[in-house]
Structure 1
Amino acid sequence: MRERLKYLKTIGTILRFANPFRYLRRGWFVLTNRLRRRHRIDYVLLMLPASMPVFPEKRGWLRRRLQGTPPMSLTQLQRSFDRIADDPRPVGVILHLRGLQMGFADLQTLRAAIMRLRERGKRVVAFAPEYNNASYFLASACDEILMMPGGQVNTTGLRRQAVFLKDALDSLGLVMDGIAISPYKSAFDTLTRSDFSPENREQLEWLLDSGYDVMINNIAAGRGMTIEQTIAMVDAAPHLDHEAHDAGYVDALLNEEGLKAHLDVEHIVPFQRASKILLKQPDKRREQYVALIRVGGLMIRGTSAKPPGNIPSPVPFVGDERTGDITVVQQVRSLMQDDSAAAVILFVDSPGGDALAAEAMHAALTELATDRPLIVYMNNVAASGGYYISTAGRWIVAQPSTITGSIGVIMGKLVSSGLWGKLHINRVSLQRGENADIFSDEQPFTDGQRKHMRQHIERIYDQFVRHVCDSRGMTWDAVDAVGGGRVWTGEQAKTHGLVDELGDLRVAYDKACALANLPEETPLVYIEPKKDQSLAPQLAQQADPAAMLRYMQDGLRMITSGAAQLLMPFKWDE
C-alpha cells in the first residue's frame, strides 16, 4: 500500500511541473498582488468575537445560508497576522475588543500571536468600550490600550464557584455512591457533598493562586508595572475612565471616530475589506506535512459527538462535546498509512472521561509514535484521561494556565430507589448471581462489591501511573506523589516533571518540525473527524428542544454508570 502511494506521489510531482497551468497561476498571482498594492492600508481594524474556536468550522453554502458565517478561529487569526506582517503597507493592527470570554490558555495563545506580530515590526493597538479581566489581560500585550469615554477597567481579579447538589438529590431520593482513588479525585463531590472537602479546597486554592500569578505577572510585564502596582490595580478595581487614564492603566480615552486622529493616519481598513487587498504569499507545495488530531470534551466509548444546543448544566461535563475512542483510533490508523504525515501534534482540550476509551486512544497513539514524532499540545484542559493519552507523546507542551494532572480514577453509580419510593412506585427484582445487581440503581454497593470496585480502580490507577513512568522517566512513587488525583496548572506541572515546555501551539509545531527535520514552512493540517450525520438530521436535531436534554441525560448516564472514569474533579470555567 505504501509503495503504491509513493509511486502515485512521484507521478503527481512530474505532472505538476509539466502542467502549463502551473505557470499561468503563477502569473495570475503576481498580477493580483500588483493590483492589491494600489490600495492604501495604514491600520487593519479587527473586531474580535467574544469567544473564538481554536480551529475553523467548515460550513458549506447551505449551512452558511441557514446558520450564518462561522466565527473567526484562533488559527485563522494567526494566519491573518502573518499576512499583515508580510505586507509592508500596514503600520499595524487595531484589535476591537468587546467582552472577551475565553479560557486563559486561549488568551495566552492570542498574547503570543500579538507578541510575534510586534516582533516583526507591526504596532498592535487595543480598543474597547471597557475592559474585563480577559480583555485587559490580552490588551496588556499590545503597544497601546485605548478605551471609550464612560467605560471602566474591571480587572477585579479571579473568582471561582462550585455547585453542590447532594442536598437537592437527597430531597428527591437520589444518592450518588462513588469510589475514588484518593480524596483529591473528587469528580463526584458535586453529587455527594454539600461543601468542599479539605483536599479539594486545597487544590482549588493552589490553582487559583497559580492562575492569579499568571495574570498579574503578564499584565505587569506588558504594562511596565511592578507586581505590587498591578496587585493594587486589581484590588482597587473597578476603575472609572478618568481614574484609569490618570493611573496609566489605559493610554487614551476616545471613541472609534477618534482613532484616525489619535494614530495620525488616514486609512483604517476593516479586516473584511483588508483580507481582499492584503498581499498574498505563494503557496509552497510540500511533499510532507505536520498532522494535527484534536481530542476535546468528554472522552467516551464510540464515536464523537457535539451537543445539539447550549443549555447550561449544574453537573459538570454532561453537556459538553464528546470525543469517541472509535473516532480517534480511526484517525490514527489512517495517519499510520500516510507517510506524508511526517509528524503529528495531539491537541488535547479534555477533562478526561471513560478509562477504557482513554486506553484505546493511548494504545493507537503509542503505535503511531513508533515511526514518527508525536508532540502533545495541552490547551485549556488536559487532565486525567486527557493527561493519560498525552503520555503517548515524545514531547509535551502546555500553557502556564493549562489545567492538567489529575492522575487518578473514580467510579460510581446513581442510586434512585428513594425517588421511586417517593413516587410510590414499587420495583421488584429477581436475580441469579451474587453480584447481578452490582451496577443496578436500586441500592448502593455492598461491602463485597465495594471491595471489588476498589480493586478495579487501583488496577487502572497502577496502569495510569506506569504509563506516566514510561513517558516521563519517573519512578512509581514519584508519580504517585504528584498523582492521586491532584490537579495542577501547566506551570506547576512543568515543575513536577509532567510537562516538557511551556508555550502555545506554535511552540509545539516548531518542536514537531525540529524532531522530524522539516522546514519551517511545512503545512500544518488539521485532521477533522468524519461526521456521522448529514446536514438535514443535524439541523433537525438542533431544532428539537428536547435533543439537548437527551444529550445531557446520556452524558450523566455515561459518568454514573459504574464504569471507571479518568475525570478531573471540577469544571474550571474562566
Structure 2
Amino acid sequence: MKTFFLSMAGALAAMFIFIFLIFSFFMMLIIGASSSKPERPDAVVLSMDLNMELSDQAPSGGFAALSGSPGFIDLLTRLKAAEDDESVKGLFIRGAFIGTGSSRAEELRQAIHSFRDSGKFVIAHSQGTLGVGGPSAYWSISAADEIWMQPGADLVVPGLTFETEFFKGLFEKIDVTPEVYPFYEYKNAPNSYNETSYTEPHREAMRALAESLWETGLGDIAEDRGLSVSSLKATLEGGMIPAEKAVELKLLDKTGYPEEASEAALEQGGKGAQLVDLVSYQAPAPGLRAPQIAVVGGEGAVVTGGSESDSPFASPPGFASDNIARAILDAGANDKVKAIIFRVDSPGGSPIAADQIWNAIETVQADGKPVIVSMGSLAASGGYYVSAGADYILANRATLTGSIGIFGGKFAIEGGLNKLGITFDRVTVGGEFAGAYGTSTFTDTQEAAVKDMLKRGYDRFLNIVADGRGMTYDEVHEVARGRVWTGADALEVGLVDELGTFMDAVEKAKELADIEADVTPRLVYYPHRPTGLEALEALFGVSAEGAEAAIMLNRLTDDKNVQALIEQMATMEAVNSGQAQIVMPRFRER
C-alpha cells in the first residue's frame, strides 16, 4: 500500500511539474514577445505568401486565436497602413499555385494598386500556376510592377468551371425520397437532392456567373499588363504557356528562382533592406484619441446560438447568431464607436439566425449609428438576409450574392430502411402534422402545410429586402426567386449600393460617421479578439493527449473539402428536422 501511495505521489508530482514547465514555456514566449520588440530595420520590404491558407477574418476563439493568426482583411488593413510607413519600401509576393478565389483576387489587386500609388514597388514571383481555381492565381498578382516565374514552369490561366454534385441517383438506389421544396426556380440548392444534373434555370444562372467572373478577370489582367482583352483571351484560352514564352507575350516580366526575385526586391528596397512577413508586421496605429469604427465579422454558415466552450481547441461558430448579434449590439452601445462595418462572408444558413442578426442591425440603426456591409467572397441567401437592412452595401465585382429564396422539407428514408428489414408502425396524437417529420413521405395535407410555411418565410425575406433597399415586393421578386448574382450584376439590379472592397467600406464608414477624410480611424473588432495570454488561460485542464487529438482534428476540419462535406451534411440534417434553409447552391470554382 505504501508503495502504491508513493507511486501515486510521484505521478502527481510529475504531472504538476509538466504543467508548470508548459505554463512557464508559454509565459516566456508571451512575455518575451510583448517586452522585447525587435529593432525595426530602416528599410523594410514586406513579404506575403498567397499559398498560405487564410480565413477571411481572424479567429476570435480556439487554438487559432492562441497563435494570433490574422485574417485576410487584417492583411489588407496592414498593407494600407504600410503606405504611410516611411520604412516600408516595397512588397514581395509569393504567388499561389492554385486559385485564391475571384473576389479575393480582386481585393488584393486593388490593395496592390493603392500600395503602388503611394510610391512603393511590388515584385511578385510564381513557381507556376495550375489549371485549378480559374484565373484568380494570376489575377491576384497581375498589378505588380514585376512578375517573375521560375524557369521551366508553366503559366496556366484557365477559364472558370463550376462543378456541382447531385445525389438523386444515389437516393434512388437506396430508396430515399427527397421532399425538398424550393422557392423559386433559381433556388437551386435543393437540385443537388432532387435532380441528376442542372435544370435550365440552374444552368442559366451558373453560366451567367462564370461568364461575369471570367470577363471581370480578363479585363483587370489586360489593363494591368497593357494588353487588349481580345488578344489576352485568345492567348489564355490556348492552354498552358511556358514561362519563357509568357515573357515574350508580356504576361510575365522575368524568369528566375524565388531567391533571385526576393534578392531583387531587397536590392530595390535599398541598403540594409530586410524582408518582413506581412503576417507579423506591426503597422503604425492611429492614436488612442482617433475616432473608432467597429468591425464585426461573420464567416461561414449562419447558425443559431453561440459557443459555450472555453477550450482553446474548440473554435466558436463563425456566424453564430447569438455571437454576431451581441457583437453588433455591443458595438452599437459603445459611444466611442462612430460606425459599424459588418464584414459578411457566408453562403447562408438558418433564416431564424439571419433574422436575429438583422434585428440587431435595426436596433443599433434606431440609435443613429450607421451600419455598412462589406461583402467578401460570398454574401448570398442568409448572407444577403443579414446585409439587407444596412445603411450601405458594398460588394466586390466578383462577390457572389443575392440568392434571395428559401427551401425546406425532408428526406423520407422509410423505403431504404425497409430494404434492410427495418419496418415501422405508428401511433400519432395531436393532429395529422404531428408525424410530418417521421420516416415516411408527407401526406398531401402535410406537404401543403410545409409549402405554406416556406412561402411565409420567402415573403418575409422579400419584405425585409424591399424595406432595406427601397424597393417594392414585386421589384425584389423579379431579381430574387433564389438567383445568385455577381456583385457587378447585383449593382445593376439594385441589391448593392457600390462596388468596392473592405478598404472602400472603411472610407464609406468615415463618410457616414462624419469623420474627416484625412483622419485615420482606429478599427476595433467585435467580438473581442483574445490576446495570446487570454487564449492560454483556457489551456489548463486539457491533457497532452487531448490537446494533440484536438490539434489534429482542428487541422482536419480546416480542410476545405471536409468543410464542404460537413456543411452539406449539416444542411441535410437541418432540413430533415423541419428547419427551413436560406442557402445558396453549392458548387466548386475550378
Regarding TM over 0.5, the answer is: yes
Aligned partner of 1:285 in structure 2 is 288
Give the number of equivalent residue pairs.
523
> What TM-score do the two structures reach when normalised by structure 1?
0.83
Q: 1:501 aligns with which of 498, 521, 525?
A: 498
Please state how far the C-alpha of 1:414 moved relative to its aligned partner.
1.3
Q: Please give the per-residue CA displacement for 1:28-56, whole angstroms capped at 9, x wherever unaligned.
A: xxxx99x74xx453744433333322333
Please state how far the C-alpha of 1:494 moved relative to its aligned partner.
0.2
Aligned partner of 1:525 in structure 2 is 524
In structure 2, the CA distance between the partners of 1:380 and 1:373, relative to structure 1 (3 Å rule), is same
**Whole-angstrom distance in 1 between the partners of 2:85 and 2:521:** 21
**Whole-angstrom distance in 1 between the partners of 2:227 and 2:111:** 22
* 1:329–1:364 contact (8 Å) kept in structure 2: yes
Aligned partner of 1:294 in structure 2 is 297
Letter in 2 for 1:189: N
Please state how far the C-alpha of 1:84 moved relative to its aligned partner.
3.9
Letter in 1 for 2:120: K
In structure 2, the CA distance between the partners of 1:455 and 1:221, relative to structure 1 (3 Å rule), is same
**Whole-angstrom distance in 1 between the partners of 2:331 and 2:81:** 30
* 1:43–1:267 contact (8 Å) kept in structure 2: no
Letter in 1 for 2:579: A
Aligned partner of 1:209 in structure 2 is 211
Note if 1:556 corresponds to 2:572: yes
Q: After the TM superposition, which residues 126-165 of structure 1 pair with which residues of structure 2 at under 5 Å, given as runs? A: 126-132=124-130, 133-165=135-167
**Whole-angstrom distance in 1 between the partners of 2:279 and 2:306:** 40
**Whole-angstrom distance in 1 between the partners of 2:208 and 2:399:** 13
Percent identity over the alignment is 26
Q: Please give the per-residue CA displacement for 1:249-287, whole angstroms capped at 9, x wherever unaligned.
A: 1111112343377565465522149967x8x64641126
* 1:350–1:381 contact (8 Å) kept in structure 2: yes
Letter in 2 for 1:377: S
Unaligned runs of 5+ in 1: 1-31, 309-319
**Whole-angstrom distance in 2 between the partners of 1:509 and 1:89:** 24
Q: Please give the per-residue CA displacement for 1:102-139, whole angstroms capped at 9, x wherever unaligned.
A: 32222211111111100100111111111343221012
* 2:56–2:345 contact (8 Å) kept in structure 1: no
Q: After the TM superposition, which residues 80-159 of structure 1 pair with which residues of structure 2 at under 5 Å, given as runs? A: 80-82=78-80, 84-132=82-130, 133-159=135-161
Q: 2:449 aligns with which of 449, 452, 469?
A: 452
**Whole-angstrom distance in 1 between the partners of 2:225 and 2:185:** 41
* 2:332–2:364 contact (8 Å) kept in structure 1: yes
**Whole-angstrom distance in 1 between the partners of 2:123 and 2:240:** 22
Q: 2:351 aligns with which of 342, 348, 355?
A: 355
Aligned partner of 1:316 in structure 2 is none
Aligned partner of 2:274 in structure 1 is 269
**Whole-angstrom distance in 2 between the partners of 1:423 and 1:185:** 34
Q: Could you say what secondary structure the match of 1:209 adopts?
A: helix
**Whole-angstrom distance in 1 between the partners of 2:278 and 2:177:** 58
Q: 2:254 aligns with which of 232, 252, 255?
A: 252
Note if 1:565 corresponds to 2:587: no
**Whole-angstrom distance in 1 between the partners of 2:195 and 2:505:** 40
**Whole-angstrom distance in 1 between the partners of 2:419 and 2:529:** 45
Note if 1:332 corresponds to 2:328: yes
**Whole-angstrom distance in 1 between the partners of 2:102 and 2:495:** 20
Q: Please give the per-residue CA displacement for 1:350-397, whole angstroms capped at 9, x wherever unaligned.
A: 111112222222112111112210111111111111111111201000
Q: Please give the per-residue CA displacement for 1:446-498, whole angstroms capped at 9, x wherever unaligned.
A: 11112122221221211111111111111221111111111101000000011
Aligned partner of 2:180 in structure 1 is 178
Q: Could you say what secondary structure the match of 1:291 adopts?
A: strand
Q: Could you say what secondary structure the match of 1:300 adopts?
A: coil
Please, what is the CA RMSD of the aligned residues?
3.3
Q: 1:380 aligns with which of 367, 377, 387?
A: 377
* 1:131–1:153 contact (8 Å) kept in structure 2: yes
In structure 2, the CA distance between the partners of 1:46 and 1:363, relative to structure 1 (3 Å rule), is closer
Please state how far the C-alpha of 1:332 moved relative to its aligned partner.
2.8
Aligned partner of 2:361 in structure 1 is 365
* 2:433–2:446 contact (8 Å) kept in structure 1: no
**Whole-angstrom distance in 2 between the partners of 1:190 and 1:304:** 30
In structure 2, the CA distance between the partners of 1:121 and 1:394, relative to structure 1 (3 Å rule), is same
Q: 1:512 aligns with which of 506, 509, 513?
A: 509
Q: Could you say what secondary structure the match of 1:106 adopts?
A: helix
> What TM-score do the two structures reach when normalised by structure 2?
0.81
In structure 2, the CA distance between the partners of 1:224 and 1:447, relative to structure 1 (3 Å rule), is same
Aligned partner of 1:303 in structure 2 is 306
Please state how far the C-alpha of 1:69 moved relative to its aligned partner.
4.6
Note if 1:242 corresponds to 2:258: no
**Whole-angstrom distance in 1 between the partners of 2:216 and 2:156:** 17
Please state how far the C-alpha of 1:155 moved relative to its aligned partner.
0.5
**Whole-angstrom distance in 1 between the partners of 2:395 and 2:276:** 30
**Whole-angstrom distance in 2 between the partners of 1:368 and 1:58:** 22
Q: After the TM superposition, which residues 55-74 of structure 1 pair with which residues of structure 2 at under 5 Å, given as runs? A: 55-57=57-59, 63=63, 69=67, 71-74=69-72
Q: Could you say what secondary structure the match of 1:249 adopts?
A: coil
* 2:149–2:252 contact (8 Å) kept in structure 1: yes
Of residues 135-144 and 392-401 in structure 1, the stretch that sits farther from structure 2 once superposed is: 135-144
Letter in 1 for 2:242: L
* 2:347–2:379 contact (8 Å) kept in structure 1: yes
In structure 2, the CA distance between the partners of 1:237 and 1:529, relative to structure 1 (3 Å rule), is same
Aligned partner of 1:402 in structure 2 is 399
Of residues 432-441 and 188-197 in structure 1, the stretch that sits farther from structure 2 once superposed is: 432-441
* 1:50–1:102 contact (8 Å) kept in structure 2: no
Please state how far the C-alpha of 1:556 moved relative to its aligned partner.
3.2
Letter in 1 for 2:489: Q
* 2:97–2:137 contact (8 Å) kept in structure 1: yes
In structure 2, the CA distance between the partners of 1:234 and 1:272, relative to structure 1 (3 Å rule), is closer
